[in-house]
Amino acid sequence: MAFTRLCSLADVKEPGALRVELDGREAVAVVRFEGEVFAIEDLCSHAEVPLSEGDVEEYKGAPTIECWLHGSCFDLTSGRPTNLPATEPVPVYPVRVDGDDVFVDVDTPIGN
């Protein structure tokens, strides 16, 4: 695993998401919800719009981020959509917080 520092924890509101651009890759949304930090590819699998612009909330007992365009929610632990119209998952990545720094391993997506 190769963790890369993406941002400061203080840069991400609670609850909320921050879009982080990476060289040569899809952007990542670093997400805070109820004291936890998640990382998910910042692109809805249905509408191809940034997920970081959507609401972060609990949906059917899971932490999710909602696509602002059509309302699909994605489970932040698995990347799987929890409702239509999205049917394809979005990659999620391992996260490590060290002090105020958020590190993400974008080379090792968590299986979805």
* Beta strand residue intervals within the chain, DSSP E: 4-8, 16-20, 28-33, 36-41, 56-59, 62-66, 73-75, 92-93, 95-98, 101-104
pLDDT digits (tens, 9 = 90+) for 32-74: 999 999 999 999 999 989 999 999 999 889 999 999 999 999 9
Distances (CA, A) of 39 to 28, 58, 91, 92: 6, 16, 9, 6
User: What is the pLDDT of the chain when averaged over all its residues?
Assistant: 95
What pLDDT was estimated at residue 60?
84
Q: Which two tokens stand for residue 82?
A: 């929890």
| Percent share of the chain, pLDDT over 70 | 98
Q: What was the pLDDT predicted at 84?
A: 95
* pLDDT score at 78: 97
User: Which pLDDT score is estimated for 111?
Assistant: 72
> Which residue segments constitute the domains of the chain, with CATH numbers given?
4-104 (2.102.10.10)
Residue 15 has pLDDT above 90, yes or no: yes
Tell whether the model's pLDDT for residue 90 goes beyond 90: yes
- The per-residue pLDDT for 112 is 60
